[in-house]
Structures are given as structure tokens and as C-alpha cells.
Chain A
């Protein structure tokens, strides 16, 4: 187009602008009086992504919509959307979920909370993902990658997964969710009532049966185990519409299975013990009470206490763990430059875990008490622009030892961008299982007798992190995190070839270098793209071969590329695709694989939602164990009544 035509374009634009409201009166509203303002119509807000919370850490929040569009039928399936979180299915109800390089059935390097209640087993450090609340009850999942020990317990070594469920007000009315397909069937029913001006109650029940047929070993000598559960729960909330909110929650779940379990802490897929077939019937449950008083803007005083009974079964170990905990936390309203947060917490744990021989477990620590406190201050260096955050957590561990875990962070916010730096120290206490000995494991075809270790020290981590987030346009958000994790005194099994014995020791040292990047781009009203990548290189010092133990890092590069394509071709129809290239960071002997998952939804009416969910459509792959995970198709019908 020539210069003359451009001139014509500019003239046309100028002419049109003359008749536009901008040219007509500038800011028309600025001269209006109060009465005239009352006649102004409120325009609906433009489509604009909400800004991320100004947190100086690598945070990803999965909303209810994110979870729905992923077609997830349980929490681990939803977590695989998050860059830096490694998710692999190990058996019908068994998942390995890890953060930043550590992964295993007993992923003991991060903390999992449900409404603030720790659900990571204090004895075995694994999570029974199948026994958590039905996915439809989950409101959002907050994933903090990196050391956040200044806020949570000594378990939050590499991250925190906080699952927030819907309160009773959000569960009003009735709903039935039926899922059926090649994996099995599931039925959830819930009903909620407002029982007064400021109170609401909701109850739910869930029955589920999974056949395990989509899991098979390469030699097809066995499939995944059958698994079933029956679950019921209650939630009551009371808000006095002034400053206080009270909530009571409880849940009871019985699950049953017959499964092959590996022996020893080596874990499945790795150099663990010989598999054993065991029947299992678990009865787990919890009750929780929380009181929250708003004391001002972004400030509160909160008390939470809970009792949790969790089955702790692995290999020939059986029994249960009881956890009674209480915590008092407070975010104080900003005082000048300071924004203080503090907390006190305590946990009392006792268990009845036993094996074939009672000498197998450390009997000296059936009862344990831990206490913790933290103080954090966000200091405003430049208003609305630069903040310095300093935090310190003190943990009194089971043996009376005190561990200090400090963190310092710097946050700079500018327009729609946030830049942050952090240096943190974290520790991880050993478990009763790791302190135990006198069991046999199989490593590379050789039997070893594990003997009880001497005094174990805490595992240590110094973490250096940097991050950058920006809303590049109203429709595009970018999030980048970089980290260097320096580990020392990590627990591993040290084997003695001469005596054929093994012992847990604090002898693993290494460094992990990583990057996580995520883009969210709303291309059009009907199309959103969410590509993400996570890369990690782990350097292990002083070892000739991979370390032995569960959730061990491995030397080398691991990477995961993910792409979510969310489309809405029609107002009531959604077609969503998840593509992944997944290369485990600590099971390097397993080949990387492509994952394809699809989700189609149709809201047939205001009360009826139909979904078709396809998982692992790219073929059958060993994700983390010698059981390959194959394709499956499920249909889900949600009916609101």
C-alpha cells in the first residue's frame, strides 16, 4: 500500500474519531454531578486476567475451572498440569507425586495439606491419594514449588501442595456425579442445606470401584490391582456476618484391595524388595475444627485443630497412625512498613504400625511430639514497588532437637510484572520407618539385611530461587522460575557388599539446577493455550551409581513439556486436550514418553453436564513402576438437583 493510501487511512481514522466519544467530550464523566452519576450505567468489566497474588515464590493455583477442564477424576491427575510437579501412576490407587526432582511412592520431600491439615503420613511420608476428598469437592489447589519451611512444617522441603475444599455454602443443593468407563465406576452424591441465616451444612457420599485393567506389566504377567472404596463426609460452616467464621469437617473412608507390594524402602520400579501379594482393607478418617476471626484487611487470627487416623501400610507393615494437631496463626494488619505473620503449632503422633516381627520397627518412637513456631515480616522498602521478606521457623523435633529454618526474599512489583529472589534453608526430619532396621531388601538381585541406623541427622537444603511473572497483555501471562537446590546429608541406603548389609545414612549430597516456565494465552474467547516446560539437572557428588532408597534424585537431566489446549467451539461445549512429553527426573532408566489426554464436555441443560474423558491415549507407558499405564475412556454425568 502506497504512502497516499496510508494518508487516506489516517484521514479516515481522524474523521471517524471526530465522531467518536473520545473526540466529543474527552472524559465525559469528570464533570458530572452526583445526581448525574446516578444515571450512569455500569459497564461490565472487560475480559482481563486476574493478577497473580504478589507472593515471592513459584506459585501455581489450579482453580475449579482448571480442574474441570483437565477432566481430572482425582487430585494427582489435576496436579500433572503444574510445571515442576512430577506425577506418575504406580498402581490403581497409588501415585508418585513429587516436586522439583524428587519423586516416589514415599515422596517425603514436600508437604500435602487438605484445608490446612497435613495428609502426608508422618510414619511413611506417603499420601493415600485415593482416600482424599472426591475431586468435585475441591475448590482450588495451590502448589508452592520451592522451600517454604518458614510457613509450614519440616516436611515442606521442596514444596507445598495445599488442597482447598468447598465450604458448606458452596455445596448448596444436591448433586450427583456418576463416572463409568474402562477403568471402573464411581458415584458421588452430595446435598447441602442452609440451616439458618448464617449457617450451612453439607454431606456427601462416594462409592468407587476401579478394575486396574489399564495397568499391566511389560510381560503381561500381572495387571493393576482391583480397588474399591466407600466414603462419607460432612462439613458445617457458620459465619456470624461480623468477623468470625467457624467450620467443622469430618470424613470416613473404607477402601479395599488385593495388591502386590514391593518389600523394603527401595520402592517399586527401583531396586526394592521382592513383591508380595497382600489383602488390605483400610479405614481412614479425620475430624477438623477451625475458627477464623478477621481482624482487618488481609489480616486474621486462626485456630485449627484436627484428629487424623491414617492407615500406614507398606510391604509387610500394617497398622495405623494417629495424628492430633493444633495450630494458631495470625496475619497482622500492616503496621507502617511491616506486615507480620506468625504461628504456633504442635503435633502429637502415635501409631500401631507393626510387621511380621516387632523388632523391625523402631519401638522407641511410637509416641512423638513436635512443636513449631514461625515469624515472618514483609517490610515495604518502596511503597507498591519493593518488599523485603524475612522469615524464621523453629521446629522442635521428636527427639527435642531444635532446627531453625530461615528465609529471606526480595519482591519487586512494577506495572503488571513481579520479580522475586529468595534464599532459604530447609531441613527434613527422618521418619520412624527410616530409623528402623532388621528387614531384608533386594538390590540388583542381591539380598541385603537392613540394620538399624545410629543417630540420624536431619536432611538439609539451601535453596536459591529467582522468578519473574508478567501479564504481557490482558490476555497473556508469563511465569518463570529458576532455582539451585544444594542438598546435603540426604538419607540413602549405604550397602556393604562384604557383609551383605545395608544401613540408612546421611551420606547423599548433590545440587539441582532447574527452570520452570509457563505461558497462559487466551487467543480468543473460545481458545486458550497453556504451554509449560520444566527442566532439571541434578548433580550427585561422590557416588559411582545411583543412590538407593525411595524418592532418590538421580544424576542427569530430566525435562517435562506440557501443553493444554482449551477450546469452546460452542457456548455449552468444551473440547480440551493435554499433550505432554514427560521424562522423569529420577527414574532415568525409564524412557521418556508422550502423553495425550482429551476431555469433551457438553452442558446439556442448567442441571445436566456430560463429559467424555480419555487418558493416556498416546499408548501404554511405564511411568514410574514396572506397571505400564494404558489408555482409558470414562464418561462422567453430573446432575444438579
Chain B
């Protein structure tokens, strides 16, 4: 029993460390909702084109405004010494290229979307009513996974071009917006 004690203590420590990290559990990759939202935001910019004269200037980072940036910040790369990150995360309200409206109430989301409706901002919500309220991108849960829905009408109003590749991967919302 004495020889087994170090192994038991080691297993105990390992067990404590295990839940801290995203894991391949039985071959399945898992992540927290905030982590997934942050990673999606960083990937989505490759599939969206901003109108001329808008969006980040060459060499400049995308400005991502969020209603609760503290939840997303751990999953955005921090700028290194002498090197700026591709994204700058700020708290809404602020001038921005992307706007993440997660965690705000539906009526707050509606009020904010109304204000930026005609501006070239990639708005992102996670609300079944998000596309109808005017969000360009909306997250929804399906089979325990976070999926994407794109509002084409909202994208047109924001003068954003969505790549056909992205449109193949996501659900399209073409319904009327609520006013």
C-alpha cells in the first residue's frame, strides 16, 4: 500500500488539473460557449468583406466591440512585444468593425442593432430573435454544438459581402425583419 501512495497522490493531482482545460473527451473536442464565440469571431472575418473605405486599414487590427468583453478576452491572443494583435477587443459603445451582443437582454440587443443597422458593422448575437432583430450573424445551439445563422437582409443593409463558402456552411435567414 505504501508504494501505491505516491501513485494515488499523483492521480489525485492529475484529476484536479484535468477539468481546467478543454479536452478531447473520448475523441470529442469541447469548449466553453465564450471560448467558441471568441474563436468564431476571429475566424469569421476571413469570410466577410467590408465596403471600400471601411473596415480596418491595412496592418491595423479589427476592432471588436462586445457588451461583455471580459468574458471573451481570455480567448483573444494578447499582443506581443512590438507586435499588435489582429484584433482589439473593446467594450461597447465604441466605434467598431464587429459587435458581439452576447449576454445583453433582448431589448438591449434590439436597441443597439437599431442604432448600427446601416453601418458597416458585423453584428453578432446569440438569440433566436437575433436575425429578425437585424443581426448579421447569429449563434444557435444544435446537437450540443454552436452553429451559425446569417441574416442576408441585415448584411445587405450593412453593405457587408459574405463569402459564398460561408453561406454554404451556415443556415440562411431570409425572413422579414421585425420593426
Which A residues form the contact surface with B (CB < 8 A)?
1, 5-6, 8-10, 12-13, 15-17, 20-22, 24, 27-30, 32-35, 37-43, 45-46, 239, 241-245, 292-299, 333-335, 383-384
Contact = CB atoms under 8 A, between A and B. Distances in A.
Contacts of B36: 37, 40, 42
9 contacts: A12-B6, A38-B146, A40-B145, A41-B28, A45-B33, A241-B178, A294-B111, A295-B111, A297-B112
B22 A29 contact: yes
B148 A242 contact: no
A37 B44 CA distance: 11
B29 A40 contact: yes
Contact of A241 (B91, B115, B129, B141): B129
A129 to B, nearest CB: 31
A34 B47 contact: yes
Contacts of A5: 5-6
A239 B47 CA distance: 35
Given A9-B10, A16-B10, A294-B111, A21 B21 contact: yes
A299 B114 CA distance: 14
Nearest to B73: A384
Contacts of A15: 10
Contacts of A334: 91, 93
Contact of B40 (A1, A34, A239): A34
A42 B145 contact: yes
B66 to A, nearest CB: 10
Given A22-B17, A294-B111, A12 B10 contact: yes
Contacts of A9: 6, 9-10, 13
Given A32-B39, A38-B147, A42-B145, A244 B29 contact: no
A53 to B, nearest CB: 13
B145 A294 contact: no
Given A29-B29, A42-B141, A242 B110 contact: yes
Interface in B93-109: 93, 104-108
Given A42-B31, A294-B110, A297-B67, 16 more contacts: A1-B6, A13-B13, A13-B14, A15-B10, A16-B10, A17-B17, A21-B24, A29-B39, A42-B33, A43-B22, A239-B107, A241-B106, A293-B107, A294-B111, A297-B104, A384-B70
Interface string B41-53: 0011011000000
Given A34-B169, A294-B105, A334-B93, A242 B24 contact: no
A37 B39 contact: yes
A34 B44 contact: yes
A383 to B, nearest CB: 8
Contacts of B178: 241-242
Interface residues of B, number: 56
Given A5-B5, A12-B10, A43 B110 contact: no
A292 B107 CA distance: 10
B92 interface: yes
Contacts of B24: 21, 24, 28
Contact of B14 (A16, A35, A243, A293): A16
B161 interface: no
Interface of B: 5-7, 9-11, 13-14, 17-19, 21-24, 28-33, 35-36, 39-40, 43-44, 46-47, 67, 70, 91-93, 104-108, 110-112, 114-115, 129, 133, 141, 144-148, 166, 169, 178-179
Given A41-B145, A45-B33, A297-B93, A35 B115 contact: no
Chain A facing B: main interface SS: mixed
Contacts of A244: 107
Chain B facing A: main interface SS: helix
A42 B32 contact: yes
Contacts of A241: 106, 110, 129, 133, 178
A28 B108 contact: no
The 9 lowest CB-CB distance pairs between A and B, nearest first, are A12-B10, A294-B107, A8-B6, A43-B30, A16-B14, A34-B43, A294-B111, A9-B6, A21-B23
A333 B93 contact: yes
Nearest to A43: B30
A384 B31 CA distance: 26
Contacts of A292: 107
A41 B5 CA distance: 36
Given A9-B9, A21-B22, A39 B111 contact: no
Nearest to B28: A41
Nearest to B40: A37
B73 to A, nearest CB: 10
Contacts of B70: 384
B146 A242 contact: no
A34 B21 CA distance: 21
Contacts of A295: 111
A384 B10 CA distance: 39
A295 B115 CA distance: 9
Nearest to B92: A297
A41 B144 contact: yes
A40 B10 contact: no
Contacts of A30: 39
A14 to B, nearest CB: 9
Contacts of A299: 108, 111
B6 A42 contact: no
Contact of A42 (B106, B114, B144): B144
Residue among B6, B32, B44 with max Cβ neighbours from chain A (10 Å): B6
A452 to B, nearest CB: 51
Contacts of B29: 28-29, 32, 39-41
B97 to A, nearest CB: 18
Residue among A10, A13, A295 with max Cβ neighbours from chain B (10 Å): A13
Nearest to A6: B6
Nearest to B105: A294
Given A40-B31, A45-B33, A243 B111 contact: yes
